[in-house]
């Protein structure tokens, strides 16, 4: 069934993190359970284990096999939605806190990889924001002014060694960084195991029950994990049905990897001033070559199924700047959860003492994940932390009221789709490898024909809050536009917040 899924392969995916992690097949007790084994979950678990707590990490898939394996790993502490936007949304004090914490996250990665001697290609480099031809130069003026207010070091420059950019103004942010995320997490996971932490893959949590002095996690297998605290680090939370989901929205982003002669392009993080912006970085390839990673062409999850056109646009954009690129080696897409005010939700939700959350990567998933590791352990241990207010999950981003309405209109529009006709009039029209929505009476069916011709039918109703699913032909899955769940063609959950599989169709 997954023959077409191979089309989507990130540059990192050959590295496996904790490949021996097994399903948890028994009841278990620990100080803390972390649900979600991406960068956030593993970072939180590591910081807890360092402090001597017993930790169990649970993931419904592979360890670090979710969106963390699809990042492009820009370790840029500056807000990727622009510093001027951050400043206007959060004010000076909190914007400073955001930047300081994102910088601290990069410093923490640097110190951990050094201490654990993880060979993960970590290196400091410049971040270069360059002016897109469509943008006015005042965009850069605003960024410089905001950088000064927040205390971010920035320099102006003109002329990059890229075709068409030899006269283009840019801003240079020194001391950004990059690395190989899965090599890094492989080292962190090894260290966690040595410290006695338990990592369990293929272990789905289906219920989170908070008591006065403990939390019970019910597993799909029927077993129970009993802990003092639980951290839900699934980016789109599985335990919170509504509150956080109204303050963040899922977006698909696309990335490609091309061979390039080593040394042809300066090792730096590049991005432009378009909205959505393009981003470029390098990573070591094989035979002395580099791989140039280019990304962008974002859209709201489920609102387009035209990946080939988006990859063509990315190819054309990068080949204008770097005409002598080598062959394409990778293409993939990932999902980011954009929050209303560009900062993640990390901490305790109102009314919850023992269940904490890390959600809303806002396109800076790696640094946000590591920030969660810097904050959550202090909250569990009852210590003060200056980051609490910056990432408070209960904050109401009043300045983002317009965005709040426009993002949440997705769900309203989505429910109207149940009244629309199907995409095909009959399942007989389905081609091998194709998925489509078909109406049958009052029901909408998510139908998929395997390469061998077998048809799989499921209800096209997301099991999180009931939104209407959309087919993603590139990733070969059903995407939920409302809060970012993904389901495989057989109905099983691939991505949170959904917990249960798609329902069967009543004949």
Binding site for ligand FES (CB under 6 A): 462, 464-467, 480, 482-485, 497-498
- Smallest CA-to-CA distance from 256 within 310, 323, 215 is with 310
Cβ proximity to ligand FES: between 252 and 483 the closer is 483
Q: Which tokens go with 21?
A: 């992690």
**Residue whose C-alpha is closest to residue 188's, from 123, 122, 117:** 117
The 3-state DSSP class for residue 363 equals: coil
Name the residue nearer to ligand FES (CB basis): 295 or 497: 497
For ligand FES, which is the closer residue by CB, 121 or 417? 417
Tally of CB atoms within 10 A around 218: 16
Supply φ then ψ for residue 269, to 5 degrees. Answer: -100, 125
Give long-range contacts, CB 8 A cutoff, 24+ apart: 205-213.
205/35, 205/58, 205/60, 205/238, 205/499, 206/499, 206/500, 207/499, 208/35, 208/232, 208/238, 208/239, 208/355, 210/352, 210/353, 210/354, 210/355, 211/354
Smallest separation, CB 148 to ligand FES (Å)? 40
User: Is the distance from CB of 180 to CB of 37 less than 8 angstroms?
Assistant: no
Question: Minimum CB separation from ligand FES for residue 428, in Å?
Answer: 29
Separation in Å, CA 434 to CA 3, 21, 170, 489, 505: 12, 33, 44, 10, 19
Could you give the maximum distance between any two Cα atoms of the chain, in Å? 66
> Residue 389: enclosing H or E segment and its boundaries?
helix 388-391
Dist CA 58 CA 260 (whole Å): 38
> Hey, which residues does 32 pair with through a beta bridge?
55, 229
In the complex, least distance from residue 358 CB atom to ligand FES, rounded to whole angstroms: 18
Of the two residues 42 and 465, which places its CB atom closer to ligand FES in the complex?
Answer: 465
Q: How far is the CB of 73 from ligand FES (least distance, A)?
A: 26
Give the SS3 label for residue 348: strand
From the CB of 81, what's the least distance to ligand FES, in Å?
A: 23
Residue 241 Cβ vs ligand FES, minimum distance, rounded to whole Å: 8
Q: Tell me how far, at minimum, the Cβ of 300 lies from ligand FES, in Å.
A: 13
Nearer to ligand FES, 120 or 337 (CB): 337
Nearer to ligand FES, 282 or 502 (CB): 502
Q: How far is the CB of 231 from ligand FES (least distance, A)?
A: 20
CB of 481 to ligand FES, least distance (A): 8
| In the complex, least distance from residue 462 CB atom to ligand FES, rounded to whole angstroms | 3
Cβ-proximal residues to 499 (8 Å cutoff; 6+ apart), any chain: 204, 205, 206, 207, 238, 463, 464, 493
Is the separation of the CB atoms in 252 and 333 below 8 Å?
yes
- For residue 115, give the 3-state DSSP assignment: helix
Both tokens assigned to 371? 């920030």
In the complex with ligand FES, the residue whose CB is nearer, 395 or 470, is: 470
For ligand FES, which is the closer residue by CB, 94 or 467?
467
3-class state of residue 163 by DSSP? coil
- Residue 252's SS3 state is strand
DSSP 433-500: T-EEEEEETTEEEEEEE-TTS-EEEEESB-TTT-PBPEEETTTTEEE-TTT--EE-TTS-EEETT--S
Cβ closer to ligand FES: 284 or 466? 466
- The encoded tokens of residue 485 equal 């769940």
In terms of CB distance, is 188 or 493 closer to ligand FES?
A: 493
User: Cβ of residue 60: shortest distance to ligand FES, in angstroms?
Assistant: 15
Distance, in Å, from the CA atom of 375 to the CA atom of 388, rounded to the nearest integer, reads: 7
d(CA 61, CA 487): 12
Nearer to ligand FES by Cβ, of 185 and 499: the residue is: 499
**Shortest distance, position 482 Cβ to ligand FES, whole Å:** 4
**CA dihedral defined by 317, 323, 329, 333, rounded to 10 degrees?**
-10
Residue 78, Cα to own-chain centre: how many angstroms?
17
Comparing CB distances to ligand FES, the nearer of 26 and 242 is 242
């Amino acid at each position: 069934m997954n023959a077409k899924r191979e089309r989507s392969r990130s540059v990192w995916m050959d590295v496996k993190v904790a490949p021996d992690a097994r399903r948890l097949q028994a009841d278990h007790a620990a100080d803390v359970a972390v649900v979600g084994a991406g960068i956030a979950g593993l970072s939180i678990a590591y910081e807890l284990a360092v402090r001597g707590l017993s930790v169990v990490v649970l993931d419904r898939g592979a360890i670090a096999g979710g969106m963390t394996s699809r990042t492009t790993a820009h370790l840029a502490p500056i807000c990727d939605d622009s510093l001027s936007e951050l400043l206007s949304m959060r004010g000076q004090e909190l914007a400073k806190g955001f930047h300081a914490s994102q910088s601290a996250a990069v410093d923490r990665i640097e110190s951990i990889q050094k201490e654990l001697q993880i060979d993960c290609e970590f290196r400091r480099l410049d971040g270069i924001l360059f002016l897109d031809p469509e943008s006015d130069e005042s965009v850069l003026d605003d960024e410089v002014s905001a950088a000064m207010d927040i205390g971010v070091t920035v320099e102006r420059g003109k002329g990059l060694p890229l075709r068409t950019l030899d006269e283009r103004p840019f801003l240079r942010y020194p001391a950004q960084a990059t690395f190989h995320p899965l090599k890094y997490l492989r080292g962190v996971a090894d260290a966690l195991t040595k410290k006695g932490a338990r990592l369990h893959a293929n272990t789905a949590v289906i219920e989170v029950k908070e008591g006065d002095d403990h939390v019970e996690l019910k597993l799909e297998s029927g077993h129970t994990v009993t802990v003092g605290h639980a951290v839900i680090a699934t980016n789109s939370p599985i335990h919170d049905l509504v509150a956080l989901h109204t303050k963040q929205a899922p977006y698909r982003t696309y990335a490609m990897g091309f061979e390039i002669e080593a040394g042809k392009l300066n090792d730096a993080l590049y991005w432009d001033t378009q909205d959505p912006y393009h981003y470029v970085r390098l990573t070591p390839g094989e035979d002395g070559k580099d791989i140039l990673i280019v990304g962008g062409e974002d859209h709201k999850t489920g609102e387009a199924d035209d990946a080939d056109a988006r990859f063509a646009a990315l190819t054309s954009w990068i080949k204008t700047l770097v005409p002598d690129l080598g062959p394409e080696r990778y293409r993939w897409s990932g999902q980011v959860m954009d929050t209303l005010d560009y900062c993640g939700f990390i901490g305790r939700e109102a009314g919850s003492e023992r269940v904490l959350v890390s959600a809303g990567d806002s396109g800076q998933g790696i640094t946000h994940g590591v920030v969660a590791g810097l904050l959550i352990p202090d909250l569990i241990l009852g210590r003060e932390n200056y980051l609490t207010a910056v990432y408070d999950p209960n904050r109401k981003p009043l300045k983002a009221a317009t965005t709040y309405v426009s993002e949440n209109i997705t769900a309203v529009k989505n429910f109207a789709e149940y009244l629309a006709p199907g995409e095909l009039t009959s399942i007989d029209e389905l081609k091998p490898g194709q998925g489509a929505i078909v109406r049958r009476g009052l029901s909408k069916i998510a139908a998929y024909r395997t390469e061998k011709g077998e048809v799989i039918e499921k209800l096209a109703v997301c099991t999180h809050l009931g939104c209407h699913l959309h087919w993603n032909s590139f990733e070969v899955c059903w995407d939920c536009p409302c809060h970012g769940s993904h389901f495989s063609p057989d109905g099983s959950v691939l991505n949170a917040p959904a917990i249960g599989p798609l329902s069967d169709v009543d004949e």
